[in-house]
Chain A
């Protein structure tokens, strides 16, 4: 069979009434848990695992995957409306999305997030169809030294995320790196920096961290202000004006999709990292980088496209190599195994219905999500009319339920509240949370790849410079760093206060 026949075959599998139904159930649940802060796809998917014992393997996998990418659509809603990330992968959307909402452009922001997700999803599916197997082979070349160099490059990119003082951003990044080190030592399995809390043995979870830094701190800040404060005027702009704004974000959407697709393939990558990198890249490409963080549409379009592209491309290592690159993929892997389907090099040969059915169902699912989400925008925007004194207790309640549901641990609620106060103080003193979160995400990878590399090389640092892929990342990192320092000095001459 040629590729066209496979696509038609996949389409016929995906449009069977039964599979259409499971696809809808999946994306619908996904949208819901995306909207609810804290409640993530992992919990919902594992709860549904036993349900899939009784349905066909294709239906099961279509539904589980639908939850994951459905989540990427819903996650941005609370980020934009109330500055509380619905998912870890929509943290960065808060920066510009919430500012847009403050300016009365919540509808446009939600629209560009949905449309961006749809375009990114579509592009990503094409990538998945044609490139899954060759790309997966290339990704295998990434060993410990390559990862270390890649993370180094990532840390340099991180400096692009900053809005204000570079010095403060670097301080935050160091704290982020430190928080990432908390937990069991990856080599000796000894507890490290846990201060006797057994719950910290697996480290600080990303959800309590971001919900605290972004969500709870936002609530605390709002508590200070008068509760009668004016509700953002949310006129729903005319379709023509919205369209014009959306079209202006087209390159941001495409760049975000490409970045997201690539980052999603890398093991350990996934939607969270993709959204950060896409934002940084967009800022670099922009002619007005200083306007990022003040409600720029590109600042919403790029990360929102990237997280959906990554959610779908992270299926590549799972399906073609049998390697789950993040926790969500691990649950999906479990779901496939239950049906005696082993993801890996033989999947295409043994279960073409699963592979092509899934890929084409994602296309159908993306269209469903577009149709489901666009009409809902008006309703979501109306949420802003709810007076703050009623809205925030409800949001806080969802945060608490969401964080608890992750690991069924009360400790994580305390942790979220703790980071809420930390985030509050950070805002008061003008420190940004974004560099902290990104450094935290990279930290475990940085440490383990560094130590693994050195165990492989017997302690010699040459391992990072003797491999071509690793060497090129190092060179790019160095170039970006020098460029950054150079431009900082130049800017510093013009107005001394910027560094």
Chain B
């Protein structure tokens, strides 16, 4: 028994010694995903891991840690060692939106490193093919004439909802928001005619748009699969951003050299054909932002959402909704 304990001890000592000496990465990297398996963010993470591990020369293990739209994983990340072997891919919800709506165990701008922004989901506003709203302007006009009557299906407390809040402020109409459990149920509600208009990410709608069951009447940027004339934010002078971002977070204080290695690995991986193809299928625009700019940009986005969350009466300090 003594021998066994001694040998385990020696092994541990030696292996930690070896790790300190050899360069990064010398063992597999854990890439957490703050959202459930099978979702868009999860597929993106697995594609990124697949593409980048060849460049980094170490396996990247994708581990799902879902909960609270990524906030659970972010809280857990705060307690991890900043050695570059634990990273978190999640949406910007955990940094820019959730902190305004609920009390969390972390400070989004103090307790974690904002390592990278890898992509942005394209956002669409959709109606069923037989909807009287032929164009976005028809919808705006109707909503103005019928205050509070427009029903809008969306994912709870999502960028799509706050985007609609912003648009309604600009155009001067009111609407009834009907929250669904994100993309699939919202699409069902649009298809079944349960809501007049729905908002969500672009990829799930592709098949129905091509089959002429659903029309996209507004999007925040150009959608490649739409064959007809399409209208984006620009066409209506909507000069604001309400992005849904795929970001990578890290525990605070990763050594600069490790950061550089990881950055290089991921950026190279993002150039691979597999990654590009999978991002395109998910209708995610590749962003590839690194360094100081990431924090600055997230701070700006957080400011945008803070105001909209207050306007929508969903801010945490307010008691009544």
Chain A binder among B80-88, B164-172, B207-215, B241-249: B207-215
Chain A binder among B64-72, B228-236, B290-298: B64-72
A345 and B321 in contact (CB under 8 A), knowing A202-B66, A337-B282? no
Flag B170-190 by CB within 8 Å of A: 1 or 0 each: 000000111111001101110
CA distance A118 to B213 in the complex (A): 36
A302 within 8 A of B: no
Interface set, chain B 257-275, CB cutoff 8 A to A:
274
CA distance A78 to B309 in the complex (A): 49
Interface set, chain A 286-331, CB cutoff 8 A to B:
321-325, 327, 330-331
A346 and B191 in contact (CB under 8 A), knowing A49-B43, A323-B184? no
A42 within 8 A of B: yes
Cβ contact within 8 Å between A340 and B277: yes
Instruction: Give the interface size bracket for B toward A.
Output: 35 or more
Interface size on A, residues (CB 8 A): 53
Cβ contact within 8 Å between A143 and B189: yes
A407 and B66 in contact (CB under 8 A), knowing A50-B49, A345-B207? yes
Cβ contact within 8 Å between B42 and A345: no
Instruction: Find chain B residues with CB under 8 A from A495 CB.
Output: none
CA distance A334 to B105 in the complex (A): 31
Chain B residue nearest to A202 (CB atoms) is B67
A189 within 8 A of B: yes
B57 CB to nearest A CB, Å: 17
A457 CB to nearest B CB, Å: 10
Chain A residue nearest to B205 (CB atoms) is A322
Cβ contact within 8 Å between A201 and B191: no
A144, A321, A338, A407: the one contacting B194 at CB < 8 Å is A144
Instruction: Find chain A residues with CB under 8 A from B250 CB.
Output: none
Chain B residue nearest to A189 (CB atoms) is B157
Cβ contact within 8 Å between A202 and B156: no
Instruction: Find chain B residues with CB under 8 A from A407 CB.
Output: 64-67
B278 within 8 A of A: yes
CA distance A499 to B156 in the complex (A): 42
A26 CB to nearest B CB, Å: 16
A242 within 8 A of B: no
A195 CB to nearest B CB, Å: 13
Flag A467-490 by CB within 8 Å of B: 1 or 0 each: 000000000000000000000000
B203 within 8 A of A: yes
Chain B residue nearest to A325 (CB atoms) is B184
Flag B271-306 by CB within 8 Å of A: 1 or 0 each: 000100110011000000000000000000000000
Cβ contact within 8 Å between B274 and A188: no
Cβ contact within 8 Å between A190 and B101: yes
Instruction: Find chain B residues with CB under 8 A from A327 CB.
Output: 36-38
B120 within 8 A of A: no
A219 CB to nearest B CB, Å: 28
A69 CB to nearest B CB, Å: 17
B39 within 8 A of A: yes
B39, B62, B98, B178: the one contacting A334 at CB < 8 Å is B39
Pick 5 A–B contacts, CB within 8 A, sort by A: A50-B50, A184-B68, A201-B71, A334-B43, A455-B176
Excluding A46-B38, A49-B38, A455-B151, 7 further A-B contacts by CB distance (< 8 Å) are A140-B192, A188-B101, A189-B156, A198-B72, A337-B203, A337-B282, A408-B65
* Chain B interface residues toward A at CB < 8 A: 36-40, 42-43, 46-47, 49-50, 62-69, 71-72, 75, 98, 101-102, 104-105, 151, 156-157, 176-181, 184-185, 187-189, 191-195, 203-204, 206-208, 210-211, 213, 274, 277-278, 281-282, 314, 316, 321
The 8 closest A-B pairs by CB, nearest first: A344-B207, A331-B38, A46-B37, A201-B68, A143-B194, A189-B157, A140-B192, A342-B207
